[in-house]
Amino acid sequence: MPGALILNILFLLIWLLNRSVKAIIPLLVIFFGWSYYERGFAFNLSPDNELLDVDPQLLQVLSYNVRIFNTYAHLQDENQQSSKKMIKWVANYPADIFCLQEFYNDPTSPVFNSTSKIGKQQRKRFYIAETLVNNNGVQFGLAIFSKFPIVDKGIIRFGEKTNNLAMFIDVKLRADTVRIYNFHFQSMSIDEKDIVDTYQDEQKLTTGSRKLLRLFKRGVVKRADQVNLLLEHAAASPYPVILCGDTNDLPYSYTYQRLKTNYTNAFQAKGWGIGATYNGKLPFVRIDNQFCGEGWEVLNYILHDSVSYSDHFPIAATYKLLNR
């Protein structure tokens, strides 16, 4: 969608310079499509890209798809350096709440004992929503770490035939209680290499495009069901809500529309630029998000696009709990 906006602006300028009546066409497209265009970028006048000082009413939240800390052989580099650096980066990050997707914990491993390194050694409470536990006690799933006491917790399952789910914790934030959701929606199930190959190879264009469309449609339907389940649960929360996670969907999707209708997107409130969170060959892809409900004010938003250990960039935001 940023590309479509740029193209329309280009046509508008060309036809304006030529004093052509055709300039009205891109102008109308931009005008009537602005509510969709604006989801793909943010131009806040005074973005604050630093974590704010500690304040009793502030809550700093990190969300990060850690890609199982690169534990699989094809993801590992020499001496597992990226895994070690990623876990250390998360463990030392000065946030209050940590929402991690594609979480991995091996309690017997000196490298991947992540609940100990991120949680116990840093004096953080934590809760893991498991999608799988193998015979060695290795855990896969979602995790939330908190510097504040966890008074309640739970899992929202999206069905028996999926490893995607959502979780929540209720946190005692000084004199108040707040609810934090962490979610991971259905993957697009599309390899970026397949997309690139399809549009670079003329022979694959027809058959490849059909396959991509089938996969895309299946993902859209599943994510629609999942976001509805999450929002139904969040609507019943007795506490102010923050939602973090990997939507696996673009800002122009039904999934994003449903979230945006009910909650404030932290990037759109305080971010800058396109805000792409996917660390891959596909450009302009923002699929990681934080949202907040009534009772919160977004103070800043940080995209850590220099932290390239995973195929996602971590995002952080600071929220102020308003007087109720």
- Whether 193 shows a pLDDT value over 60: the answer reads no
For the ranges 121-130, 159-168, 246-255, the lowest mean pLDDT is seen at 159-168
Helix (H) or strand (E) holding 154, with range, is strand 150-157
* Average pLDDT value over all residues in the chain: 87
Q: Output DSSP code: residue 73.
A: G
pTM reported for the whole predicted model: 0.87
Mean pLDDT of 136-151: 97
Phi, psi (deg, nearest 5) at residue 118 = -90, -35
Q: Are 245 and 184 in contact (CB under 8 A)?
A: yes
Residue 106's pLDDT is 97
- Whether 31 shows a pLDDT value over 70: the answer reads no
| Closest among 219, 276, 291 to 248, alpha carbons compared | 219
CATH superfamily of 48-321: Endonuclease/exonuclease/phosphatase (3.60.10.10)
| Closest among 144, 119, 122, 4 to 63, alpha carbons compared | 144
Q: Are 178 and 151 in contact (CB under 8 A)?
A: no
Q: Mind listing the pLDDT tens digit for each residue in 70-114?
A: 999 899 999 999 999 999 999 999 999 999 999 999 999 999 999
Percent of the chain residues topping a pLDDT of 90: 65
